[in-house]
A and B are shown apart, each in its own frame.
Chain A
């Protein structure tokens, strides 16, 4: 491809030092432990994983809200870890964020108008009143916010309306990339659908790229074209959305997909479920070798010692498994029946 990636994440690591008690031993939590991927302009890229897999930390690293331990994040070719304050500020015009909880991410003492236009004040933009009100009207219209909301405060609104305000704030600066950390998981189903449709429309209209962080595969499938699955700080599989859903090449992805309840009883009855045993191991002491091996049904002896990094499997997949891609899975085709 001739277009350079908008965002390049290379060998990114974030380790936190923790102490057990005040005088206790110091240990390291490897929240993000060597993650690499590219996000192309106008692409919607998803990072999916369960609690504690490091997906939120990854989002913070990309936004330069946390300092990485190792590795780099390049936005439009420039390394954000080497930027000074002024450069970071300029870069952040291009990269905005939507948070999960629309209740805690809006300042309760500001009016909706102040919340949405604050980015313009910070970045010294649209100072001409006529231009400002034109821009604001367009933004409100795009995000489905009524003009009458402007003088009101966040507490007067429901979760879905608040999330629209959060989205409008993120889009005020016309960013190229929006990092969305679980933007719909706090919302009711009918409202979630409204917001998902809105995010999709906005992407088309404003040519946005999304880095979408989520635990919900159904939501990700609806919105995203490429997906990285994380487990204990690592990406274990990365592929196009359709490829990943139809033919997962990592045992963890396979089990995760089979665990997602499907809103259709006729499929649900025919489906075979892979039940993972046990809980996710503590990131304080991740298992040796492949981090997934204690819960893996394809485990071979070598998996206990061999820490597999991402390898290319068929049809553009990248997977961190040395067993599953070479298995004949047709016998288990019932798993992903459709």
Chain B
């Protein structure tokens, strides 16, 4: 396989206040390869968005603090970079699109200017050239009459068009990595299909790597090559897409897949996961999923499971998979924990 463009090693992001510490992300490790899509899946509060914001160092410090790990981008650790260096990468080599395109575009600036801004900033071209490129980009993301729409304000765009404009901004510098945080959650299904299609097409064209953050299992099935499932700030399973759906290892993954209704298969009952996601501020003794786990064992309540590395470049964070594991590591480890 090719060299990874981005390697996250044992990333831990905590929110520290006087009263308590919330371990929002507590040991995430993965490799992202050029032209591939890695989906990070989880429910609200699983840490999937915080992990993405940590990569771009967009979290306010304090209260947020990256307390451990490395984020290697083309061999250099983003966490050790100065603000200036980081600015040269953010929006340029690593770009991000957000869930709510209305709140992430500036309402009082023309769409064209918002696209051109990134181009002028990172590529040092003239305003005119950047403007012309903005028109090109709008055309590329499928906005009709781009020469006219480039002068519009965000409120004149529909939800789908705003997301297209966001993608245009993200792509303006032809990034190596695109982080898409719930890019279609606010959109209707027909528009969602258009946006996902556009992302795939642009990925092929630019050979971008995509980190897709989502709670929608259907979107994952459509887009991803690899999947990291997160629960309570930890990756509980990591597998190639086909294997994950064919034979999920971690009970949480099984529960998650069983919870989703499908338009193809009519299930009499959904296999819901009992209980509620945990509060992250307390810290855990043993496995955080144990209280909701249908296959819970005695040791799960007291012993924190390590990351079990399984055949086929898979990882599961469950004691059940101890027997079949080839190797084990702790999720906080930075080195040698790849895959």
Contact = CB atoms under 8 A, between A and B. Distances in A.
Interface of A: 50-51, 158, 160-161, 188-194, 196-197, 200, 215, 217-219, 221-222, 241-242, 245, 255-268, 273, 275-276, 278-280, 338
A161 to B, nearest CB: 7
Interface stretch (B27-35, B108-116, B269-277, B297-305): B269-277
Contacts of A266: 242, 245-246
Contacts of B266: 221-222, 241-242
B269 A200 contact: yes
Contacts of A263: 217-218, 220-221, 245, 257, 260, 262
Given A222-B270, A256-B190, A279-B191, A262 B43 contact: no
Contacts of A265: 221-222, 241-242, 245
B151 interface: no
23 contacts: A50-B189, A51-B159, A189-B43, A189-B260, A190-B272, A193-B273, A194-B272, A196-B261, A215-B189, A218-B218, A218-B260, A255-B190, A260-B189, A261-B192, A261-B222, A262-B264, A263-B221, A263-B257, A264-B264, A265-B222, A266-B242, A276-B190, A279-B161
A292 B197 CA distance: 22
A188 B48 CA distance: 14
A260 B218 contact: yes
Nearest to A188: B43
A193 B245 CA distance: 18
Contact of B192 (A197, A259, A264): A259
Nearest to A201: B269
A192 B262 CA distance: 13
Given A188-B44, A279-B161, A257 B191 contact: no
Contact of A158 (B192, B197, B218, B276): B276
Contacts of A222: 261, 266-267, 270
Contacts of A50: 188-190
Contact of B262 (A190, A242, A264, A280): A264
B158 interface: yes
Given A218-B260, A222-B261, A275 B193 contact: yes
B221 A268 contact: yes
Given A190-B256, A192-B259, A262-B264, A51 B188 contact: yes
Enumerate the 7 nearest inter-chain pairs by beta-carbon distance, A residue then B residue, closest first: A261-B218, A193-B272, A193-B259, A259-B193, A222-B261, A193-B270, A188-B43
Contact of B255 (A190, A200, A241, A256): A190
Q: Which of A189, A242, A259 has the most CB of B within 10 A?
A: A189
A261 B184 CA distance: 12
B65 to A, nearest CB: 26
Contacts of B47: none
A335 to B, nearest CB: 12
Interface in B159-185: 159-161
A221 B256 CA distance: 18
Contacts of A193: 258-261, 270-273
A241 B266 CA distance: 10
B215 A221 contact: no
Contacts of A258: 193
A275 B189 CA distance: 10
Contacts of A245: 263
B194 A276 contact: yes
B337 interface: no
Contacts of A279: 158, 160-161, 191
A279 B159 CA distance: 9
Nearest to A52: B188
B216 interface: yes
Interface in B213-260: 215-222, 241-242, 245-246, 255-260
Contacts of A158: 276-277
B221 A261 contact: yes
A279 B193 CA distance: 12
A315 B178 CA distance: 47
Given A188-B43, A265-B245, A279-B160, A160 B276 contact: yes
Nearest to B220: A263
Given A194-B274, A200-B269, A338 B261 contact: no
Nearest to B258: A193
Interface in B109-156: 144
Q: Which of A190, A197, A200, A215 has the most CB of B within 10 A?
A: A190
B263 A260 contact: yes
B194 A275 contact: yes
Given A193-B271, A280-B188, 7 more contacts: A50-B189, A51-B159, A194-B273, A197-B269, A218-B260, A222-B261, A279-B160
Interface string B187-212: 01111111011000000000000000
A264 B224 CA distance: 11
A193 B246 CA distance: 21
Contacts of A194: 272-274
A279 B149 CA distance: 15
A276 B190 CA distance: 7
Nearest to A223: B261
B314 to A, nearest CB: 15
Nearest to A274: B193
A139 B267 CA distance: 26
Nearest to B268: A200
Given A161-B276, A188-B277, A264 B263 contact: no
Contacts of A190: 43, 255-256, 259, 272-273, 277
Contacts of B276: 158, 160-161, 191
A273 B261 contact: no
Contacts of A215: 188-189
A158 B277 CA distance: 9
Given A215-B188, A259-B193, A261-B219, A196 B270 contact: yes
A262 B194 contact: no
A170 to B, nearest CB: 20
A266 B246 CA distance: 9
A280 B217 CA distance: 25
Nearest to A49: B188
